[in-house]
Amino acid sequence: MELTFGILLFCIAAFFVAGFIDSIAGGAGFVTVPSLLLVGMPPHMALGTGKLATSIGSLVALWTFWRGGLILMKIVPLGILSSMIGASLGAYCALQIASATMGKVIVVMLPLGILFTILTGGFKLDEGELPKKFF
């Protein structure tokens, strides 16, 4: 994969759009992964690059919510542990799939993910107070 000025401009534009989408509703991976695949990045690297970007965004969101007093500190360790286990298992499983096969899986799964999101209407959250007791 050769990095040219045109590819760099395309990626900047794509990631700007992805960041805008992610700030409103989430789902930046629906833009970033196909963009990176389109410029010739290997599938595993495209997935990892997208995950790194969304992880940084999630950390910033966590920090913002924490400063606003909107985090239940009792469940943070469980959330961190479960996300680390899930990420490790997901990465291990993804690395067991050949690059050519992974590219085909991504090409099939991304449109299905978009269709599922549109048809189900996404997640609906209720407004209200945070629960005082979790466990």
The mean pLDDT value for 116-128 works out to 71
pTM: 0.71
Give the ranges where the chain is alpha helix by DSSP (H): 5-24, 29-38, 43-67, 76-95, 99-120
Per-residue model confidence as pLDDT tens digits over 40-65: 999 999 888 888 877 887 788 888 88
CB 18 within 8 A of CB 1: no
Helix axes 29-38, 5-24, angle to 10 degrees: 170
In one-letter notation, the amino acid at residue 121 is G
